[in-house]
Amino acid sequence: MKKEFEFINLKYKPKNDLVCLFRISPAKGLSMKKAANTVALESSIGTWTEVPGKDYVKKLGARVFSIKGNNIKVAYPQELFESDNVPNILSSIAGNIFGMKAVKAIRLEDVSFPKSILKNFSGPRYGIEGIRKMMGIKNRPLVGTIIKPKLGLVTKDHAKSAYEAWMGGCDIVKDDENLASQKFNVFEKRLAKTLEMADKAEAETGEKKAYLVNVTAETKEMMKRAQLAEKQGSKYVMIDILTAGWAALQTLREGNFKLALHAHRAMHAAFDRNPKHGISMMVIADFARLIGVDQIHIGTGIGKLEGKIQDIEEISEEIESKSVKATKERLAQKWGKIKSTFSVSSGGLHPGHVPFLIKHLGKDLVLQAGGGIHGHPSGTRAGAAAMRQAVDAVMKNKTLEEYAKTHIELREALKKWKVK
């Protein structure tokens, strides 16, 4: 006779399992135990009704080994997965469960990979240490910008804006998420002209400069664009990892380019904005690092974009900041041979935010300001200088107000954005 809760074993101790932490709101009239059992069966070997099967199949069933309040932990035997296939893994642990009647809401909060899966992925080519070596930046955060307006600029003006940002003090300049190869700014021309400006800025400043061109496209076209970027001497490429898809990201990483991969998280809020349903940014970041991105946007805790919303009606900035910090710490965690991933803070930032960000997230950080640089009263070059000056001030243990007394660009920025 079939056990009522055959996928629950609270005495089980995970060994070589993939472990997931879920937050569950059971459907009306359903117990937490019943909902947890249903999640485990649906995401492993079971289905909605009893189906005759072989005894050996039962050994592959997922096991709920912890139930605390609305949180459950589920252990999945490693044999359930094709261990080098991220789409396959996510189709199991984050597939049909989101649409089940047994749950009112369910959120995948965290994931832990067994060594049998970790060993099948290369992870980042460069990681934090490799990026620092490539860019010649030993101790401070990297300073970057996004070309604004994000769409509409013709190639000549796009490249000029990048040049001004580099000359002002930016280390990296990137395309925004929706700039691909539109008629007003064709990919091939933009790549060549902007890299030319990067070389010019390097020669004139004596600093390394990088252009993060967006290669997001249909997979074959994406690979062609990455090949062209490498051929023309680019240090990086950027990819919108969620809209391109996990398989496309794996394809790009396994192309073995000598390029750093910058991951934009466009569409992430469709997964992680609802605090009760979906997939956390932590999990998205984990899979991105596993595959091999060198940098990824994690949020800010301040600025125009939420890092995490705890209540749909009300944003808790304190908790939001903790979520961003936790993701940042996860990306730096030791994972055997897999290198760390640089965290990127971006979204509504200006120089006045720099002390908070470095205090809460540390120096191993990429600080990106778009409007907070290009919107400077004296233009892009001055905006980039102000952002770099803000970083320098913090690194020298000086307040922005003190540093601004002898740095006019920073002073103008603080006045513009009313920083006291």
> Sign of torsion, CA 348 352 358 359?
negative
Q: Read off the amino acid at residue 54.
A: K
- Evaluate the omega torsion of the peptide bond into residue 149 and state whether it is cis, within 30 degrees of 0: yes
Per residue, the 3-state secondary structure of the chain, as one string, reads CCCCCCCECCCCCCCCEEEEEEEEEECCCCCHHHHHHHHHHHCCCCCCCCCCCCHHHHCCCCEEEEEECCEEEEEEEHHHCCCCCHHHHHHHHCCHHHHCCCEEEEEEEEEECCHHHHCCCCCCCCHHHHHHHHHCCCCCCEEEEECCCCCCCCHHHHHHHHHHHHHHCCCEEECCCCCCCCCCCCHHHHHHHHHHHHHHHHHHHCCCCEEECECCCCHHHHHHHHHHHHHCCCCEEEEEHHHHCHHHHHHHHHCCCCCEEEEECCCCHHHHCCCCCEECHHHHHHHHHHHCCCEEECCCCCCCCCCCCCECCECCHHHHHHHHHHHHHHHCCCECCECCCEEEEECCCCHHHHHHHHHHHCCCEEEECCHHHHCCCCCHHHHHHHHHHHHHHHHCCCCHHHHHCCCHHHHHHHHHCCCC
Q: Are strands 17-26 and 71-77 parallel, antiparallel or unpaired?
A: antiparallel
The answer to whether 361 and 325 are in contact (CB under 8 A) is: yes
Catalytic residue numbers read 148, 264
> What pTM was computed for the model?
0.93
Distance CA 201, CA 116 (A): 45
Q: Which residue has the tokens 């620092």?
A: 132
Distance CA 142, CA 213 (A): 17
Each residue's pLDDT, cut to its tens digit, for the chain (420 residues) gives: 457 789 999 999 999 999 999 999 999 999 999 999 999 999 999 887 777 777 788 899 999 999 999 999 999 999 999 999 999 999 999 999 999 999 999 999 999 999 999 999 999 999 999 999 999 999 999 999 999 999 999 999 999 999 999 999 999 999 999 999 999 999 999 999 999 999 999 999 999 999 999 999 999 999 999 999 999 999 999 999 999 999 999 999 999 899 999 999 999 999 999 999 999 999 999 999 999 999 999 988 765 444 432 333 333 344 455 789 999 999 999 999 999 999 999 989 999 999 999 999 999 999 999 999 999 999 999 999 999 999 999 999 999 999 999 999 999 999 999 987
Cβ neighbours for 218, distance < 8 A, ≥ 6 positions apart: none
Tell me what pLDDT residue 3 has: 74
**Token pair of 246, please?**
């996990």
- What is each CA distance from 385 to 130, 145, 175, 370, in whole angstroms? 25, 12, 20, 13
What are the φ and ψ backbone dihedral angles of 10, each rounded to 5 degrees?
Answer: -70, -5
Q: Which domains does the chain have, with CATH numbers?
A: 17-118 (3.30.70.150), 127-416 (3.20.20.110)
Other C-beta atoms closer than 10 Å to the C-beta of 376 total 26
Distance CA 247, CA 201 (A): 36
Tell me what pLDDT residue 46 has: 86
Distance CA 176, CA 146 (A): 6
Cβ neighbours for 398, distance < 8 A, ≥ 6 positions apart: none
Tell me what pLDDT residue 126 has: 98
Terminal Cα distance for the chain, rounded: 71
Distance CA 289, CA 146 (A): 22
Q: How far is CA 184 from the centre of its chain?
A: 29
| Burial class for 373, CB neighbours closer than 10 Å (0-12, 13-18, 19+) | buried
Q: Which residue has the tokens 């320098």?
A: 392
CA 233-124-151 angle, 5° bins: 55
Q: Read off the amino acid at residue 359.
A: K
